[in-house]
């Protein structure tokens, strides 16, 4: 049994192999780009608004509200990055309803790439918000003794992001594959429905966790960032660094 | 017994143990987290959106330990690196 779309080679030309992961990533990218380009080329502010524009507005404002609730001061700043992460993972996971499609997020390469994007984005947003010194100061807060633990947490949470998304999507594929061989008709469909739900929740969680990591590194008032603030659930979420 | 057979037998046993033990802890923890969240929503229905979001994020974090165990057991069964090593040692 194949547990990764990496092993499925669609096309081969002079030693270059096009795996299913790359091909389906391109498919998802093409769908996202073409749909957004088609919708945003005909935006209107008048009386009649097309239904596609309403759909896009709902998606964008919902992501914006979610970013705002995590505790970022300026949601518009993070909207492109977080929104792209969410839309890409959600589309990649939801397209499993199409027969013959293998989600590219079921490959550790894709999820590791996404997690490395988050790893790089955290210092970029933080330096842009607080300056280089302010960012480096997050590593020695609350005390310089925490420096190695902060460094480890930075790496381990990246690994956790990658393996969590990969494991969830891959487990859905593997369970459906096993069930097809032992109970072919009904149960694989139920498990695929469950896989759609899991895929959407994982996309949400990946985006929210990326936002939480960015928000916790780019907070301007780190003075009381500790266990003292029980009253504020937003801050508590934002302080959950690694796991 | 052949060494590759030994490796296969121990891998399967370990994969079963990994997923069995590794799912107990997250199952208990997720049940506890969900129960606490339901209690909190019952006490404060106004804060239900915040509680639900925090619950989802924490459930994902709890679940990730079970997912790690699942990934390890899948590697042991389908992509075990030591079966190749044993076949190379036997062949060459």
Report the range of poorest mean pLDDT among A168-172, A231-235, B11-15, B40-44: A231-235
What are the pLDDT digits (tens) for B20-72? 999 999 999 999 999 999 999 999 999 888 888 888 888 888 888 888 898 88
Residue-number span of the structural domain to which B44 is assigned: 25-80
Asked if residue B57 belongs to a domain, the reply is: yes
**pLDDT recorded at residue A179:** 85
A64 to chain B nearest CA, in Å? 15
What are the pLDDT digits (tens) for A128-182? 888 888 888 888 877 888 888 888 988 988 998 999 999 889 888 888 888 888 8
Q: Average of pLDDT values for A46-63?
A: 88
> pLDDT band at residue A235, thresholds of 50, 70 and 90?
very low
**pLDDT recorded at residue B14:** 93
Please tell me which of the candidates A160, A174, A208 has its beta carbon nearest to residue B74: A174
**pLDDT recorded at residue B91:** 67
Residue appearing with tokens 């393996």: A163
A91 pLDDT exceeds 50? yes
Chain-chain contact of A3 with B74 (C-beta, under 8 angstroms): yes
User: What is the total count of domains within chain B?
Assistant: 1
As given in the structure block, the two tokens for residue A228 are 């003292």
Asked if residue B4 belongs to a domain, the reply is: no
Chain-chain contact of B79 with A3 (C-beta, under 8 angstroms): yes
Cis peptide leading into residue A142 (ω within 30°): yes
> pLDDT band at residue A29, thresholds of 50, 70 and 90?
very high
Q: What is the ipTM of this complex?
A: 0.72
Asked if residue B55 belongs to a domain, the reply is: yes
Q: Average of pLDDT values for B2-11?
A: 85
Q: Average of pLDDT values for A107-127?
A: 93
CB A184, CB A8: distance < 8 Å? no
Of A176-190, A222-236, B5-19, B78-92, highest mean pLDDT? B5-19
A5 vs A142: CA distance, rounded Å: 43
DSSP codes joined into one string, chain A = ---SGGG-EEEEETTEEEEHHHHHHHHHHHHHHHHHHHHHTT---SS---HHHHHHHHHHHHHHHHHHHHT-S-HHHHHHHHHHHHHHHHHHHHGGGSTT---GGGSHHHHHHHHHHHHHHHHHHHHHHHHHHHHHHGGG-S-GGGHHHHHHHHHHHHHHHHHHHHHHHHHHHHHHHHHHHHS-SSHHHHHHHHHHHHHHHHHHHHHHHHHHHHHHHS-S--TT-SS---S-HHHHHHH----
A115 pLDDT exceeds 50? yes
Average pLDDT, chain A: 83
B48 vs A159: CA distance, rounded Å: 31
Question: b or e along A94-126 (b: 16 or more beta carbons within 10 Å of the residue's beta carbon)?
Answer: bbbeeeeebbbbbbbbbbbebbebbbebbbebb
If phi > 0 it is left, if psi is from -120 to 50 it is alpha, else beta; for residue A102 that is: beta
Asked if residue B7 belongs to a domain, the reply is: no
CA distances from B36 to A206, B41, B58 (A): 23, 9, 12
DSSP code of residue A240:
-
Please tell me which of the candidates B56, B61, B71 has its beta carbon nearest to residue A204: B56
> pLDDT band at residue A25, thresholds of 50, 70 and 90?
very high
A125 vs A106: CA distance, rounded Å: 28
Report the 10 Å Cβ neighbour count for A234: 17
A197 vs A200: CA distance, rounded Å: 5
Task: Read off the CATH number of the domain in which B53 is found.
Answer: 1.20.20.10
Largest pairwise CA distance in chain B: 69
Report the range of poorest mean pLDDT among A67-76, A94-103, B23-32: A67-76
Question: Roughly what angle, to the nearest 10 degrees, separates helices A187-217 and A51-70?
Answer: 50
Chain-chain contact of A163 with B74 (C-beta, under 8 angstroms): no
Chain A residues in contact with B47 by the CB 8 A cut-off are 233
pTM for this predicted structure: 0.81
CA B87 to chain centre: 29
Chain-chain contact of A205 with B79 (C-beta, under 8 angstroms): no
A2 pLDDT exceeds 60? yes
A128 vs A114: CA distance, rounded Å: 21
Please tell me which of the candidates A1, A170, A209 has its beta carbon nearest to residue B57: A209
Nearest to A156 by CA among B36, B41, B63, B61: B61
A94 vs A119: CA distance, rounded Å: 25
Query: Percent of chain A having pLDDT more than 90?
Result: 29
**pLDDT recorded at residue B20:** 94
A20 pLDDT exceeds 70? yes
């Amino acid at each position: 049994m194949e547990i990764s779309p990496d092993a499925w080679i669609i096309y081969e030309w002079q030693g270059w192999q096009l795996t299913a992961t790359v091909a389906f990533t391109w498919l998802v990218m093409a769908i996202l780009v073409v749909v957004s380009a088609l919708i945003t080329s005909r935006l209107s502010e008048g009386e009649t608004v097309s239904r596609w524009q309403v759909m896009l507005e709902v998606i964008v404002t919902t992501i914006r509200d979610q970013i705002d609730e995590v505790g970022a001061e300026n949601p518009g700043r993070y909207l492109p990055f977080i929104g792209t992460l969410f839309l890409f993972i959600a589309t990649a996971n939801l397209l499993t309803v199409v027969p013959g499609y293998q989600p590219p997020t079921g490959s550790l390469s894709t999820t590791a790439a996404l997690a490395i994007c988050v790893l790089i984005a955290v210092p970029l947003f933080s330096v842009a918000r607080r300056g280089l010194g302010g960012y480096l100061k997050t590593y020695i807060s609350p005390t310089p003794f925490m420096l190695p633990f902060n460094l480890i947490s930075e790496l381990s949470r990246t690994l956790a992001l990658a393996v969590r998304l990969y494991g969830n999507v891959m487990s859905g594929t593997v369970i459906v594959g096993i069930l097809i061989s032992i109970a072919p008709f009904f149960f694989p469909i139920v498990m695929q429905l469950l896989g759609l739900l899991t895929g959407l929740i994982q996309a949400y969680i990946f985006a929210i966790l990326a936002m939480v990591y960015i928000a916790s590194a780019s907070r301007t008032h780190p003075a009381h960032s500790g266990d003292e603030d029980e009253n504020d659930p937003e801050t508590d979420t934002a302080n959950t660094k690694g796991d | 017994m052949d060494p590759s057979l030994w490796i296969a037998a121990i891998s399967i046993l370990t994969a079963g143990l990994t997923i069995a033990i590794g799912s107990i802890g997250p199952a208990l923890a997720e049940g506890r987290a969900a129960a606490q969240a339901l209690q909190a929503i019952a006490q404060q229905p106004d804060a239900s959106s915040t509680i639900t979001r925090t619950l989802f994020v924490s459930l994902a974090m709890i679940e990730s330990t079970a997912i790690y165990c699942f990934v390890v057991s899948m590697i042991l069964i389908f992509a075990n690196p030591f079966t190749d090593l044993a076949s190379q040692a036997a062949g060459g």
